[in-house]
Structure 1
Amino acid sequence: MKITLKLFASLASYLPPNKKNGIEADIDVADTCTIGDIILLYKIPSKSAHLVMVNGVYIKPAERDQYILKPNDALAICPPVAGG
């Protein structure tokens, strides 16, 4: 099935080469693929996967390995933000 993976800020470098507009890519995943599977597959450091949303809905860290993605989902991952 196909989903959209959006990786923001420093995480954009983990996107596959077919990325569009610099922050997202349409990817094919297994029907039983979880958010945790995507994080492992794309070698995204787990500490950097700070804010994770599916279709704009926040997914808690404890739920990510059980959350099975659905066709056409948009998975967005943002790193921690620091400022001052």
Structure 2
Amino acid sequence: MLDTDGFCSGLRPSKVHILLETYRLERESKKELNKYLNYLKNNNLKEYHNFIEYKRLVEKKTPNLKEIYYECLDGKKDVNFDLFLLL
């Protein structure tokens, strides 16, 4: 099951959502990515650090995860969301 702790309360995005948003922003604009990451840090530092740890672990498990997501954005393939699981 995906780590969707943010969706339980409906008030904040999950770590998966944040990760996909950072990938999308990184591809579009480093400036916008930095603004988004600063926003996350300033609003909930503990959650931000949890996200960074999640990102590190999921990218260690699937090193080319960002490229896989970019292929999805380009319409070349679907994303297997099992790649985002931490087992």
| Fold in common (TM above 0.5) | no
Structure with the higher strand share, 1 or 2: 1
> Radius of gyration: which is bigger?
2
Task: Work out which structure has the larger RCO, using CA pairs closer than 8 Å and 6 or more positions apart in sequence.
Answer: 1
Give the alignment's TM-score, normalised by structure 2.
0.29
